[in-house]
């Protein structure tokens, strides 16, 4: 029997509350399958199974607090199914079926690594059971897998010979993470012993590198010429390559330098919501090429509309702010420019155009920035929208908001003007592809018909995912949004 203990869920976290079980006694489970959902400081995480097998006993009920290292579930472990070389099939723009490369592996050891790290190990052909984890409690990180991959390349003779040839004849090319090729071309590469991700190519399909059979054969011929390189050159360049690889591996796997505190400094744990926000922001900046479009709009019509509607709203016990009006204008602009209401599915390599108008509203709280999502903004009246938004924000600040109420948004609005500032470079809330930052409404000089007057204005900062949205799309969206903000009565025409 395998006694699976609650793993370390993050630095400084000593316990977690079981929110939900996704398995029961007697269920068969696979490695990486989610067993339970556990929450620490309002940050919920999925706990995956480290092995294949059958669940024999759950050692905690929903609502129980389980300490790190305490047995969570007993699993009768079985043999992990052997896996052959895995590939992803993708249809190119011309209808031809091609595959993305994925190396052969059988990572079936009982190790502690999150699903994303296990997937990276499979993609790079790294035996994860042989990787030494540098994370908390021996957790294997992406950096550990990357270091093991480089070390394996250093010991692989064909790879070294290929590196010798590149150093001797041309600048060293980087190995791609993904390559498109037909099944026949991929089979030819395996027969010739060619690493298809290292084959030089200028051809692309849908933005991904594409390799054909001729390129594979040319690569094989060049690698065959490695045998003609003098032994002394091989030894010299091999030592250089191995040294560089080891230095890179050391840098990737190096532990962070501890920060020394002095008298008067204060420390607090980096965990819970704050850590979740940090990881989400780091992921967004790491994966998404941000581009930000800045603009300003005169909004006397918006100010006048709120002033007219506010007394009517107060008669019904509702305090009307500018935010519900802003959300209605954003929803209307999204209808006109649906490319801004998209999500990028990197697994299937598809852009998902969302039909709903669920808009997230970034909210500053004592425990960090959270983003409650207002559903169906386009279908709600101002009073209903105001009441729902007030309720979500209030519960977000009191930590009484459900996780599901902060998911599923298609677009996010953040109002930094309430705190101070005019323009910003907001970070996109992935997998969304855009976020709008707005400044404070204040009087600024506006030139019209040769005269300068003071008018209420609003500053706009639209950040986009440049993989999906072009700068021209961003400019057109902002232009449409400005027209609604300057004259909100246009919404009555729809």
**465, 466, 473, 494: the active-site residue:** 466
Specify if 261 maps to a domain: no
Q: Are residues 65 and 98 in the same domain?
A: no
Structure tokens at 457: 């204005």
DSSP letters for 77-117:
E-PPPP-----EEEE-TTS-EEEE--------S-----HHH
Specify if 148 maps to a domain: yes
Specify if 285 maps to a domain: no
Strand partners, 456: 443
Longest pairwise C-alpha distance within the chain:
91
Low-confidence ranges of the chain (pLDDT < 50): 11, 42, 80-110, 159-173
- Please give the pLDDT value at position 233: 63
Q: Structurally, how many domains does the chain consist of? A: 3
Q: Are residues 380 and 465 in the same domain?
A: yes
pLDDT 10s digits, 28-52: 998 888 899 887 654 567 888 888 8
Q: Are residues 48 and 155 in the same domain?
A: no
C-alpha separations of 42 from 1, 16, 124, 326, 398 in Å:
32, 10, 34, 29, 11
Structure tokens at 5: 């203990």
Q: Are residues 9 and 128 in the same domain?
A: no
Specify if 422 maps to a domain: yes
Pick from 11, 6, 83, 100: which is nearest to 48 by CA? 6
Q: Are residues 119 and 217 in the same domain?
A: yes
- Please give the pLDDT value at position 222: 78
Specify if 282 maps to a domain: no
Q: Are residues 382 and 442 in the same domain?
A: yes
**Domain-terminating residue out of 77, 105, 133:** 77
Rg (CA), the chain: 28
Q: Are residues 108 and 68 in the same domain?
A: no
Beta strands in 187-282, from DSSP E residues, in sequence order:
204-205, 208-209
pLDDT 10s digits, 200-256: 888 887 677 888 888 888 888 877 765 555 666 666 766 777 676 666 655 555 566
Torsions phi, psi for 295 (to 5 deg): -160, 175
Specify if 263 maps to a domain: no
DSSP letters for 210-230:
B--HHHHHHHHHHHHGGGGS-
Q: What share of the chain is helix, strand, coil (3-state, %, to 5)?
A: 40, 25, 35
Q: Are residues 356 and 398 in the same domain?
A: yes
- 466 among known catalytic residues: yes
Q: Considering Cα of 424, then 427, then 433, then 437, what sign does the dihedral take?
A: negative
Q: Are residues 304 and 195 in the same domain?
A: no
- 290 among known catalytic residues: no
Separation of alpha carbons 257 and 377, rounded Å: 47
**Domain-terminating residue out of 253, 276, 308:** 253
> Please, are residues 426 and 251 in contact by the beta-carbon 8 Å criterion?
no
Structure tokens at 84: 């052959």
CATH code for position 308: 3.30.559.10
Q: Are residues 351 and 305 in the same domain?
A: yes
Specify if 271 maps to a domain: no
**Domain-terminating residue out of 77, 110, 129:** 77
pTM: 0.50
CATH code for position 59: 2.40.50.100
Other beta carbons within 10 angstroms of residue 363's beta carbon come to 20
Specify if 259 maps to a domain: no
Q: Are residues 46 and 108 in the same domain?
A: no
DSSP letters for 12-74:
T--EEEEEEES--TT-EE-TT-EEEEEEETTEEEEEE-SS-EEEEEE---TT-EEETTSEEEE
Residues 6+ apart with CB under 8 A from 390: 319
- Please give the pLDDT value at position 230: 62
**156, 470, 473, 494: the active-site residue:** 470
Q: Are residues 412 and 435 in the same domain?
A: yes
Please give the residue range of the domain that contains residue 240.
88-253
What is the crossing angle of helices 471-486 and 300-315, to 10°?
Answer: 60
Structure tokens at 158: 């064909």
């Amino acid at each position: 029997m395998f006694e699976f203990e609650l793993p370390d869920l993050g630095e400084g976290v000593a316990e977690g509350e079981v929110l939900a079980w996704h398995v029961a006694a007697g269920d068969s489970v696979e490695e990486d399958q989610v067993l339970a959902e556990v929450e620490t400081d309002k940050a919920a995480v999925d706990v995956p199974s480290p092995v294949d097998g059958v669940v024999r006993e759950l050692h905690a009920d929903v609502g129980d607090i389980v300490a790190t290292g305490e047995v969570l579930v007993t699993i009768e472990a079985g043999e992990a199914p052997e896996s052959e070389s895995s590939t992803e099939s993708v249809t190119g723009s011309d209808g031809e079926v091609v595959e993305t490369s994925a190396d052969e592996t059988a990572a079936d050891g009982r190790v502690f690594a999150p699903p994303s790290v296990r997937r990276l190990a499979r993609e790079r052909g790294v035996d994860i059971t042989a990787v030494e984890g540098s994370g908390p409690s021996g957790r294997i990180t992406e950096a550990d897998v990357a270091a093991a991959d480089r070390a394996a390349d250093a010991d692989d003779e064909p790879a070294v010979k290929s590196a010798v040839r590149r150093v001797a004849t041309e600048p060293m090319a980087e190995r791609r993470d993904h390559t498109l090729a037909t099944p026949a071309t991929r089979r030819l590469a395996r027969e010739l012993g060619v690493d298809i991700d290292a084959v030089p190519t200028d051809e692309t399909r849908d933005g991904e590198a594409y390799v054909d059979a001729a390129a594979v054969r040319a690569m094989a011929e060049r690698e065959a010429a490695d045998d003609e390189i003098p032994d002394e050159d091989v030894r010299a360049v091999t030592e250089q390559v191995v040294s560089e690889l080891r230095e890179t591996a050391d840098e990737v796997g190096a532990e962070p330098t501890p920060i020394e505190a002095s008298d008067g400094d204060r420390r607090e744990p980096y965990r819970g919501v704050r850590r979740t926000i940090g990881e989400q922001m780091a992921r967004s900046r790491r994966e998404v090429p941000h581009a930000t479009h800045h603009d300003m709009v005169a909004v006397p019509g918006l100010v006048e509309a709120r002033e007219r509607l506010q007394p009517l709203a107060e008669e019904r016990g509702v305090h009307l702010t500018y935010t519900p009006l802003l959300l209605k204008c954003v929803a209307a602009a999204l209808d006109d420019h649906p490319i801004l209401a998209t999500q990028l599915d990197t697994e299937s390599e598809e852009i998902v155009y969302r039909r709903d108008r669920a808009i997230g509203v970034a909210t500053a709280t004592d425990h960090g920035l959270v983003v409650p999502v207002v559903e169906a903004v386009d279908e709600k009246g101002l009073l209903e929208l105001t009441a729902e938004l007030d309720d979500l924000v209030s519960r977000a600040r009191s930590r009484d908001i459900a996780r599901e109420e902060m998911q599923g948004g298609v677009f996010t609005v953040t109002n930094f003007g309430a705190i101070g500032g005019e323009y910003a470079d907001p970070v996109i809330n992935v997998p969304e592809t855009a976020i709008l930052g707005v400044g404070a409404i204040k009087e600024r000089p506006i030139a019209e018909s040769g005269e300068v007057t003071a008018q209420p204005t609003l500053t706009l900062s639209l950040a986009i995912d440049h993989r999906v949205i072009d700068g021209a799309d961003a400019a057109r969206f902002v232009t449409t949004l400005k027209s609604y903000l300057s004259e909100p009565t246009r919404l009555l025409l729809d």
